[in-house]
Amino acid sequence: MTPLSGVDPRWRSARRVLAVRLDQLGDVLMTTPALQALRETLPQAHLSLLTSPSGAVLAPCLDMVDEVLAAEVPWMKLRTGAEPPRPGAAEAALVARLAAGGFDAAVLFTVCTQSPLPAALLCRLAGVPLVLAHCRENPYALISHWVPDTDQVADGMRHEVQRQLDLVAHLGGPRLADARLRLHLRPQDHEAAASARLAAGMRADRPYLLVHPGATAASRRWPPERFGAAAGAIAQAADLDVVFSGSAGEQALIDAARQAMSVPAVSLAGRLDVPGLAALVHGARLVLTNNSGPSHLAAAMGTPVVTLYAQTNPQHTPWQARARVLWQDVPCRHCLKSVCPQGHQRCLMDVGVAQVVQAAGGLLAADDMARARPAEALA
């Protein structure tokens, strides 16, 4: 019996396969184990990923896919400041683009609050005969391989990574041996991160704490002043330099954090692309962040991370990471809102600076012990 003998014969013969994940950067990162599983399940296929412009910035780092296509679609959240596409024209162009790709099959990756039906209809109009997806309602012939969606937004729901791995498993392929997040960095990514640090006046030989106080949703942002106070205390205790990351538009957050610090810090906001940021994360002793993309970059890079985790979405914690995830339990948890509907944001506001400093110290101590073990084994 070959490793792929359990795979549906119709999928085994597919030569061009489309993976659809139209969410943001962090969601695409959490789908990388499933994309790797899909690659191993269908090694003969040319694998394309259709994603959002935000997710597409990861293209240079996704070595398990052959091609990345970017599209803005009206049934998903638009980028900040993006104009809604003109009805009909954008969809028609995307259908034509996918039809020209000649895809034999598609796998639709969604969270449990999303419907796969718009993407399934897109695939049908593009002539894709095989479609695999979770779906809550009966899709009839719109989805050829329907997996009933049983996830509920509540305690105990599957982690986002596990949900997507379980979807690919329905094809009958081999189990993925290593289910960690995957991100392939090139030499130029490490060089870009090193150059940015040097240009900011940082010493190449100094260990550093990376702080990312931004997040796309306001409900997921711990106050920047607390980030600054925590970062200063961590840096002093562990003898670390401090570097802030973020987009150019997040510079005001970083300035507020730096004003609350007792030690110097530099900002690389807007100076690195996402692969360069991933390399910066890779080189850090510790990452301090909200529930945002850098939290998942840290998981992918194997860098210890302290995450201030708003209880809006329960299934997005750092996956298989050396992490401390901090929140305050509240009755309104799992609200799925970008702005706190109660107005108090207690799931984050009730987390204190001292808790963050203690969590960081514990992670750094554990990391020091792990680094010392190889030397002890040779002694």
CATH of the domain at 293: 3.40.50.2000
Residue scoring higher pLDDT (107 or 220) = 107
**Boundaries of domain holding 34:** 9-169
Contacts of 197-202 with C-beta under 8 Å, sequence gap 24+, read 197/243, 197/266, 197/268, 197/280, 199/271, 200/243, 200/266, 200/267, 200/268, 200/271, 201/266, 202/241, 202/243, 202/266
User: How many structural domains does the chain have?
Assistant: 2
- d(CA 347, CA 331) in angstroms, rounded, equals 9
Say yes or no: 163 and 214 in one domain. no
Task: Look at 310 and 36; give whichever has higher pLDDT.
Answer: 36
Residues contacting 112, CB < 8 A, separation 6+: 134, 136, 149, 151, 152, 153, 157, 163
Q: Are residues 200 and 150 in the same domain?
A: no
Tokens 């490490």 — which residue?
190
Report DSSP state, residue 206.
S
φ, ψ (nearest 5 deg) of residue 305: -140, 135
- Classify residue 182: in a domain, yes or no: no
Specify if 177 maps to a domain.
no
Instruction: Report the distance separating Cα 221 and Cα 201, nearest Å.
Output: 28
Using the 8-state DSSP alphabet, how is residue 17 labeled?
E
Structure confidence by residue, pLDDT tens digits, 66-120: 999 999 898 887 666 667 667 778 889 999 999 999 999 999 999 988 999 999 9
In this predicted structure, which of 143-152, 167-176, 178-187, 328-337 has the lowest mean pLDDT?
A: 328-337
Q: What is the mean pLDDT of the chain?
A: 90
CA distance 84 to 292: 24
The structure tokens listed for 262 are 């007792």
Residue 51 token pair: 């994603």
Task: Identify whether residues 290 and 239 lie together within a single domain.
Answer: yes
Within a domain: residue 92? yes
% of residues, the chain, pLDDT over 90: 71
**How far is the CA of 203 from the CAs of 194, 242, 332, in angstroms?**
10, 11, 45
Does the predicted model carry a pTM greater than 0.75? yes
> Which of 169, 200, 215 corresponds to the end of one domain?
169
State the pLDDT at residue 201: 94
Predicted local confidence at residue 337, as pLDDT: 65
Reading the block at residue 238, the tokens are: 């562990």
Same domain for 207 and 76, yes or no, is no
For the four alpha carbons of 251, 253, 259 and 264, in that order, the dihedral sign comes to negative
If you average pLDDT over residues 12-18, what whole number do you get?
96
Question: Does pLDDT of 11 surpass 70?
Answer: yes
In the chain, what are the helix, strand and coil shares in percent, each to the nearest 5?
40, 15, 45
Collapse the DSSP code of 105 into the 3-class scheme (helix H, G, I; strand E, B; otherwise coil) and give the result.
strand
pLDDT at 212 over 50: yes
Any domain includes 318: yes
User: Is it the case that residue 134 has pLDDT exceeding 90?
Assistant: yes
Residue appearing with tokens 């002793």: 285
134 inside domain: yes
The answer to whether 254 touches 223, Cβ cutoff 8 Å, is: no
Nearest 10 degrees: CA dihedral of 96, 94, 161, 140? -60
User: pLDDT tens, 303-326?
Assistant: 999 999 876 667 788 889 999 999
- Whether residue 356 is found in the same domain as residue 239: yes
Q: What is the pLDDT of residue 1?
A: 35
Does residue 296 form part of some domain? Answer: yes
The answer on 212 and 318 residing in a single domain is yes
Q: Mark whether 162 and 234 lie in a shared domain.
A: no
Residue where a domain stops, chosen among 137, 169, 201? 169
Report the alpha-carbon distance of residue 64 to residue 343 in Å, rounded. Answer: 42
Shared domain check, 197 and 136 = no
Query: Of the ranges 213-227, 241-255, 292-306, which one carries the lowest mean pLDDT score?
Result: 213-227
Flag whether pLDDT at 167 surpasses 70: yes
Question: What number is the average pLDDT over the span 276-283?
Answer: 97
Looking at the structure, do residues 104 and 13 belong to the same domain, yes or no? yes
CA nearest 110: which of 12, 15, 34? 34
Binning pLDDT at 50, 70 and 90, where does residue 226 land?
very high
Above 60 in pLDDT, residue 65? yes
Determine, yes or no, domain membership for 224: yes
| 3-state secondary structure at position 367 | helix
Tell me if 56 is assigned to some domain. yes
- So what's the pLDDT on residue 272? 96
Q: Reply yes or no on whether the pLDDT at 33 is more than 90.
A: yes
Residues 148, 285: one domain? no
pLDDT (0 to 100) of residue 80:
60
Same domain, 196 and 162: no
218-227, 270-279, 361-370: range with highest mean pLDDT: 270-279
> Angle at which helices 160-169 and 25-41 pack, to 10 degrees?
30
Are both 159 and 79 inside the same structural domain?
A: yes
pLDDT of residue 317: 86
